[in-house]
């Protein structure tokens, strides 16, 4: 669906540039979702295209535009009225990151990044859900390999996790807040071991 939407966005954006798009709801052509463009009152540039992709009378996709450039796509993919996917695009039109809401409440709190081959490479997380990223999870081959987190919001990581086969293996902590790790917990089949590092 996203691919369809994006091609439609491109089509609409081009039409808008050519002055061909009308200001009311459009696209009754077969299969195309109902789309409504909105333009800046000051600059006249295309700012937003609102879609009703399943034609139930409720908007479920929003393309935030800077003229012809797609900046951000917001999607309500399960049509429950709550946005559940935020696609951010860079100046070249490439997908930069995809935001999602771990709590499913319409507030983005995690953002996924791909590597050059399109595989999940990193997820930035705002654990306090305030938009500030304080946890970074790294992935390889679809599995999490490590994570680092700033649990006390001083801007410095104080918790480091490693994973083996996608399963938590160790947690290293900076418990005395001096910026250096001082305790390590290791998760083994036989149980958890704790060691003081210095």
| Residues engaged in binding Ca ion (CB under 5 A) | 52, 54, 56, 58, 60, 76, 78, 80, 82, 84, 150, 152, 154, 156, 158
User: How far apart, in whole angstroms, are the C-alpha atoms of residue 63 and residue 149?
Assistant: 32
Nearer of residues 86 and 111 to Ca ion, judged by Cβ: 86
Q: Give least dist CB 85 to Ca ion, A.
A: 8
Nearer of residues 158 and 170 to Ca ion, judged by Cβ: 158
Q: Give least dist CB 66 to Ca ion, A.
A: 25
Q: Give least dist CB 43 to Ca ion, A.
A: 29
Nearer of residues 62 and 163 to Ca ion, judged by Cβ: 62
Q: Give least dist CB 56 to Ca ion, A.
A: 4
Q: Are strands 85-89 and 95-100 parallel, antiparallel or unpaired?
A: antiparallel
Nearer of residues 52 and 66 to Ca ion, judged by Cβ: 52
Nearer of residues 115 and 176 to Ca ion, judged by Cβ: 176
Beta bridge partners of 192: 187
Q: Give least dist CB 47 to Ca ion, A.
A: 20
User: How far apart, in whole angstroms, are the C-alpha atoms of residue 70 and residue 92?
Assistant: 10
Check if the beta carbon of residue 123 is closer than 8 Å to that of residue 143: no
Cβ count near 187 (within 10 Å)? 17
**The residue to which tokens 């796509």 are assigned:** 73
User: How far apart, in whole angstroms, are the C-alpha atoms of residue 138 and residue 35?
Assistant: 37
């Amino acid at each position: 669906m996203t691919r369809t939407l994006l091609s439609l966005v491109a089509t609409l954006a081009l039409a808008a540039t050519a002055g061909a798009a009308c200001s009311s709801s459009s696209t009754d052509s077969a299969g195309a979702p109902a789309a409504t463009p909105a333009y800046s009152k000051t600059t006249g540039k295309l700012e937003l295209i609102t879609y009703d992709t399943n034609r139930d009378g409720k908007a479920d996709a929003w393309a935030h535009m800077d003229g012809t450039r797609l900046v951000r796509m917001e999607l309500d993919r399960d049509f429950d009225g709550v946005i559940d996917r935020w696609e951010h695009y860079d100046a070249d039109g490439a997908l930069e990151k995809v935001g999602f809401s771990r709590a499913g409440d319409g507030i983005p709190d995690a953002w996924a990044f791909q590597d050059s081959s399109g595989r999940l490479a990193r997820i930035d997380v705002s654990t306090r859900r305030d938009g500030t990223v304080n946890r970074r999870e790294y992935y390889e081959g679809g599995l999490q390999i490590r994570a680092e987190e700033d649990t006390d919001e001083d801007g410095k990581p104080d918790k480091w996790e490693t994973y083996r086969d996608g399963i938590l293996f160790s947690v290293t902590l900076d418990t005395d807040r001096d910026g250096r790790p001082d305790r390590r917990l290791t998760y083994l089949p036989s149980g958890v071991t704790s060691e003081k590092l210095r």
